Chain A
Amino acid sequence: MIDNAIATTGTGVVAGLGYAPALWVKPAPILPHSTDAVVAEEAREAEIARWKAAVETVAARLAARAAAATGAAAEVLEATAALAADKGLQRTTVKLIAAGSTAEAGTVTAIAAFIAKFEKLGGLMAERATDLGDIRNRVISALLGLPEPGVPTPLTPIILLAEDLAPADTATLDPALIHGIATRLGGPTSHTAIIARQLGIPCVVAAADLADIPDGTLVLIDGAAGTVAVGADPAEAEAKVLTDAARRKAVQSWQGPGRTKDGTAVEILANVQDGAGARAAAQFPAQGVGLFRTELCFLSAQHEPSVAEQASIYGEVLAAFPGQKVVIRTLDAGSDKPVPFVAHPDEENPALGVRGIRLGNADQGLLERQLDAVALAAEQQGVTAAKVMAPMVATIDEARNFAAACRSRKLSPGLMVEVPSVALLADAFLAEVDFMSIGTNDLTQYTMAADRMAPSLAALTDPWQPAVLHLIRLAAMAGASAQKPVGVCGEAAADPLLACILVGLGLTSLSMAPNAVAAVGLQLESVTLEQCQRAAVAVLRCTTARAARATARELLS
């Protein structure tokens, strides 16, 4: 019998399990409220000695941590240690204490003066203000005999608990010792989440009841489920963690290319939004780009970027995947994602308004110039028949006009399947273009008539909804009979289990966030095409999303 009580549930941001004692990031000390107290003249020398001893302690601790660290972390710590022992800081503080300040007040006043100067200088200098604040907190804690504030340096593995982590806290996180991170605040894009993802540490953020877990409690963190549990059976928890660690290691070493156990090829591609993102994606075992969102270069621009400017941005993405597939999606903007230089009408319901290809009704030139830029980039990069697809297509006429505009520039036209009308008439749409790609997020929102941004409708905006899966099947069947590629480029493709169902339905490519590529590739490699097809048939018979998910799990794992 396991007493596996869930202590708190938050948002899981880095999948993986960790089991170790909890250790809290120690809060910053409370700074002295007033700096007015005057130390008697005869005690001032002793006060200066007390201050010097505290600074030496702080500098020595930082130097010891620097010696134990390597690379960038060691450099950061060495620099902080040098700053703590800085001669100018010492002179300023000693002068204040010699004039009667307490050591605490002198520290606060001296560092506040430097912080004010740096903030006034701005830019890079302002970043030093954070370092000085960190040093001030360490010195005050040492003066008051409090534990060192900030991230503790454990000797054995721990699960790190914090309100939220600051950049300075994360410079020295060691994945060998930090087996999990849970924070009470923060979100999926917080600094904590970004660092945990980089380091591959299981992480849960926004776990509201975290404060109830004291230091030393054995906790089991599940970064996929977003749970932090206490009271797990130790043997069972450790076995689970070992299995999970082996799985994560296998994911890390997966190299591609995508295929099922029996060798059926499935293209596993990355979604990107600019050149930097494409270069980062190329570090993952992705076989190309299945969705290049071109919005980014428009959303931040006050004026429409020229054809040459656009071509240079598109060229960067093409260059990141030389000789590989890159699908460029034309501008997908609307009144919810407004582009500054396009007049968007006031809309009651922007998700159903003038978006994507429909912008052409307002300004056909915008699309023409974007296609010119893609053609120019393709020519510069030596890419023939570059793939371009249009978002929010709903009618055959839109598809036909888009295809003609692409073909006149020797580009290969494709469509996004987002509006259910395209899935329902997939054969007719596919006759107009060379390929289709299913945007599962929008297809789900339009099929279920549920706003994908509304958290209370999450059960409806679930790609496992049977009606959505049936529409995906229609598109896949059209692809098979026309012998044209039909893939998926939405969140659904990043779910390893659903990815197998999509392959079973007959889709030929899966495009996802770059960091999901390896987990999906590994899962596909563990099943045969026949298994996927059988599971897909079984899932299509399910009448609820929950049953669909359970059926897939049973048949595929």
Chain B
Amino acid sequence: MTTQTVVVGSPVGLHARPAALIAKAAGAYDEEILLVLDGEEADAASSLMIMTLGADFGASVTVESENADAVAEIASLIAKDLDA
């Protein structure tokens, strides 16, 4: 299991557009990818589940998966401003 903690870089937080982009990227992997915020878990392949985390700009989100490449890609997306 690989984990990486990153800070949300999109000013709107992990809302509509950023959540959709992350879910799309996560959906390309076979392994399950989880996002964790304050003990709450969400499937990174579901933009609805990501949005229910309510992760605001600047929040620290942990990415977990068996696939290290997946963790690296999703973590780098979370850190970016995806709403730009």
Chain A 73-117 near chain B by CB (<8 Å), digits 1 or 0 = 000000100110011110100000000000000000000001001
The B interface is mostly helix, strand or loop, or mixed, namely helix
- Tell me the nearest residue of chain B to A113, going by C-beta: B52
| Interface-lining segment among B1-9, B40-48, B62-70, B73-81 | B40-48
CB pair A128 B51 closer than 8 Å:
yes
CB-defined contacts of B23 to chain A, threshold 8 Å: 82, 86-87
With contact pairs A86-B23, A114-B52, A118-B52 given, residues A128 and B46 touching in the complex (Cβ less than 8 Å): no
Q: How far is the CB of B47 from chain A (nearest CB, A)?
A: 6
The verdict on A1 contacting chain B, using a C-beta distance below 8 Å, is no
CB-defined contacts of B12 to chain A, threshold 8 Å: 124
CB pair B54 A87 closer than 8 Å:
no
CB pair A86 B54 closer than 8 Å:
no
The A interface is mostly helix, strand or loop, or mixed, namely helix
CB pair B48 A114 closer than 8 Å:
yes
Tell me the B2-44 residues at the A interface (CB within 8 Å): 12-13, 15-17, 20, 23-24, 27, 42-43
Q: How far is the CB of B29 from chain A (nearest CB, A)?
A: 12
* Chain A residues close to B by CB (< 8 Å): 79, 82-83, 86-89, 91, 114, 117-118, 121, 124-125, 128, 132
The verdict on B59 contacting chain A, using a C-beta distance below 8 Å, is no
CB-defined contacts of A87 to chain B, threshold 8 Å: 23, 27, 43, 45-46, 49
CB pair A117 B52 closer than 8 Å:
yes
Per CB-CB distance, the 4 closest pairs between chain A and chain B, nearest first, are: A88-B46, A88-B49, A87-B46, A121-B54
CB-defined contacts of B20 to chain A, threshold 8 Å: 79, 82
CB-defined contacts of B43 to chain A, threshold 8 Å: 87-88, 91
With contact pairs A79-B20, A125-B15 given, residues A86 and B52 touching in the complex (Cβ less than 8 Å): no
* Chain B residues close to A by CB (< 8 Å): 12-13, 15-17, 20, 23-24, 27, 42-43, 45-49, 51-52, 54
CB pair B46 A86 closer than 8 Å:
yes
Partner of B52, one of A79, A83, A121, A124: A121
Bound Cα distance from A121 to B15, whole angstroms: 11
Bound Cα distance from A346 to B8, whole angstroms: 54
Bound Cα distance from A86 to B24, whole angstroms: 10
With contact pairs A79-B20, A117-B52, A121-B52 given, residues A86 and B47 touching in the complex (Cβ less than 8 Å): yes
Q: Other CB < 8 Å A-B pairs besides A86-B49, A87-B49, A117-B52, 12 of them?
A: A86-B23, A86-B46, A87-B43, A88-B45, A88-B46, A88-B48, A89-B46, A89-B48, A121-B54, A124-B12, A124-B16, A125-B51
CB pair B47 A118 closer than 8 Å:
no
- Tell me the nearest residue of chain A to B45, going by C-beta: A87
Bound Cα distance from A117 to B15, whole angstroms: 13
Bound Cα distance from A168 to B20, whole angstroms: 19
Q: How far is the CB of B74 from chain A (nearest CB, A)?
A: 14
- Tell me the nearest residue of chain B to A122, going by C-beta: B54
Q: How far is the CB of A21 from chain B (nearest CB, A)?
A: 36
